[in-house]
C-alpha cells in the first residue's frame, strides 16, 4: 500500500484530535497513544510509517541482538503494525492503519477545512444556526471555489 505525498501533507495540517474523531467514525477506538510527545515543542509535526526494531539486552556494551523486526506491537494500549502511519503533534501520537491512511487523510483534511470555514463565519459575527448542512454546504463550496482550498 502506497502513501502519497499529498496525504502526508494533509496529515501534517490536521490535529491529532481531528484524526482521532475521524477514526472513531470508522469504529476504531484505540488510536491515540497518550503521553508520547515530540522532543521539542518547536519541532514540526511528524508523519510517517511505523517500523519496529526491538533489541534484546546487550551481551556487552557494544553489541545488541535484533529480535522480531517489523512485527506488530502494542504501544500505549494501541496496536501498531509495520507500515501503519504515525502522526505526532503537540497533543500526542495517532496511529492510522496503512490500508486506511489515504481515506483518513482526505476525511480529516476536509473536516479541518470545514471547521476553519465555520470559525471564519462565527468570527465574522454570523450565528451558529445554519452552519450545519445543508445551508452551510452551499456557502462552504462557494468559499472553496473562491479560495481554492
Are 32 and 94 in contact, with CB atoms under 8 Å apart?
yes
47 vs 122: CA distance, rounded Å = 31
Strand pairing category for 32-33 and 78-80:
unpaired
Give me the CATH number covering residue 101: 3.50.30.40
134 pLDDT tier (thresholds 50, 70, 90): low
123 against 62, higher pLDDT: 123
117 pLDDT tier (thresholds 50, 70, 90): confident
Q: Return the pLDDT at 143.
A: 82
93 against 36, higher pLDDT: 93
Side-chain-side CA neighbours of residue 133 (13 Å): 7
Are 58 and 64 in contact, with CB atoms under 8 Å apart?
yes
Are 108 and 122 in contact, with CB atoms under 8 Å apart?
no
Q: Work out the angle at residue 54's Cα, subtended by the Cα atoms of residues 50 and 58, and round it to the nearest 5 degrees.
A: 150
Torsions phi, psi for 86 (to 5 deg):
-105, 130
The tally of domains found in the chain comes to 1
Q: What percent of the chain has pLDDT over 90?
A: 32
8 pLDDT tier (thresholds 50, 70, 90): very high
pLDDT tens, 52-98? 675 555 554 444 445 567 788 888 888 899 999 999 988 889 999 99
Helices 101-123 and 135-147 cross at an angle (nearest 10°) of 100
Q: Which of 112, 2, 109, 94 is nearest to 47 (CA)?
A: 94
Q: Return the pLDDT at 135.
A: 64
How large is the average pLDDT for residues 117-140?
76
Average pLDDT value for the chain: 82
Which residues constitute the domain of residue 103? Answer: 5-147
Cell readout for 68 is 522480531
How large is the average pLDDT for residues 109-131?
85
Amino acid at each position: 500500500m502506497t502513501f502519497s505525498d499529498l496525504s502526508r501533507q494533509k496529515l501534517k495540517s490536521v490535529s491529532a484530535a481531528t484524526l482521532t474523531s475521524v477514526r472513531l467514525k470508522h469504529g476504531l477506538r484505540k488510536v491515540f497513544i497518550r503521553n508520547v510527545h515530540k522532543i521539542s515543542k518547536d519541532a514540526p509535526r511528524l508523519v510517517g510509517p511505523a517500523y519496529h526494531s526491538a533489541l534484546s539486552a546487550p551481551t556487552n556494551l557494544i553489541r545488541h541482538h535484533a529480535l522480531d523486526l517489523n512485527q506488530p506491537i502494542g504501544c500505549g494500549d494501541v496496536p501498531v503494525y509495520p507500515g501503519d502511519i504515525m502522526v505526532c503533534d503537540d497533543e500526542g501520537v495517532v496511529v492510522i492503519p496503512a490500508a486506511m491512511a489515504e481515506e483518513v487523510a482526505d476525511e480529516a483534511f476536509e473536516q479541518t477545512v470545514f471547521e476553519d470555514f465555520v470559525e471564519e463565519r462565527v468570527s465574522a459575527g454570523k450565528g451558529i444556526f445554519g452552519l450545519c448542512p445543508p445551508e452551510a454546504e452551499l456557502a462552504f463550496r462557494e468559499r472553496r471555489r473562491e479560495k481554492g482550498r
